[in-house]
Amino acid sequence: MALPEEANRIADDIRSMRIRGAGLIARSAVEALRIVAERSKASDIDDFMKDMNNAAQVLLETRPTAVSLPNGIRYVMHRVSTQRPAATSVGQIRSATIKAADEFIDSAKNAVQRIGEIGARRIRDGDVLLTHCNSSAAISIMKTAWAKGTKFKVYVTETRPRFQGRLTAKELTGAGIPVTLILDDAVRYFMQEVDKVVVGADAITANGALVNKIGTSMVALAAHEAKVRVFVAAETYKFSPETMIGELVKIEERDSGEMISPGALKEIGPVSVSNPSFDVTPPEYIDLIITERGIIPPLGAILILEEVFGIVTPEELREYQTYALHEEA
């Protein structure tokens, strides 16, 4: 079965970054799975599972760095696979799939709200904050603190080349928060005025390193140099189980056209263009990670992985990586 038009559009929007932000990517991918489950015309359970596995594979290939995406898909597919032996009809397995998708989407939305409530306690009256890119979890912290009456201002980087920071500036300004939009290159210049850096995450590794929008590591480096605390807002489904056995998070290389038009590049001459979408901030530049389960130090990431995913051995990880995402012989 080909993906329904609506599900295929979601996959294209994730791939092209019309849908952006790790949390929204995960929720959208799971919503696409839900659509496939609803629209599948399979007459037996095996064919239904083939439709779901096909959709899962298509979605997994859209954004390689967004760990939240495979974690969301695996959340749904694992629950579907465990229900399959007891299912006696397509209707039963379809209902199990839809229920799992709804559970993940609701949990993800609640996680952002909970992170906002927990993180808001760390913001003080008179603080000057700095944020990079466009993170719903980081924004939730700032908007929640402001709604509770805490007064502060925020420096927001433009976040080139796609200017996601402008989206953040618009949302914060809409909440009444004083915002100053700055060039990415100006972070070190303004850091002397900053009390706290608040950023989101695309992935957290087992050793507590942060994978986030390109430029985040330079922000954290400038903060470290200036002795400014760095807070990372991250839902637990952004933690990467694969890194428990030494696998690296793949850094996505985006099209050069995001940086420079083909015409302008031709004028420059025969140069190559590299446009990585993310970078890695080492754990020693991070003060704390704010999750929906509470605040942890970077080195506590391994405990979150063990608690949330129940993975403590390479064999368990391999099972987690592969279950329900491949057709059975």
Give backbone dihedrals phi and psi of 157, rounded to 5 degrees, phi first.
-75, 150
Structure tokens, 301:
């990431």
Give backbone dihedrals phi and psi of 47, rounded to 5 degrees, phi first.
-65, -35
Helical H runs in the chain?
5-15, 22-39, 45-60, 68-83, 90-120, 136-147, 164-174, 187-190, 216-225, 262-268, 301-309, 314-322
CA distance 70 to 317: 13
User: Is 47 in the active site?
Assistant: no
Residue 126 zone, left/alpha/beta (φ > 0; ψ -120 to 50; rest): left
Q: How many CB atoms lie within 10 A of CB 213?
A: 28
From 51, 127, 133, 184, active-site residue = 133
Residues 213/281, Cβ–Cβ less than 8 Å: no
Identify the three-state secondary structure at position 230. Answer: strand
User: Got the DSSP string for 119-131?
Assistant: HHTT--TT-EEEE
User: Is 44 in the active site?
Assistant: no
From 51, 127, 184, 202, active-site residue = 202
Residues 86/80, Cβ–Cβ less than 8 Å: no
- Cite the active site residues: 133, 202
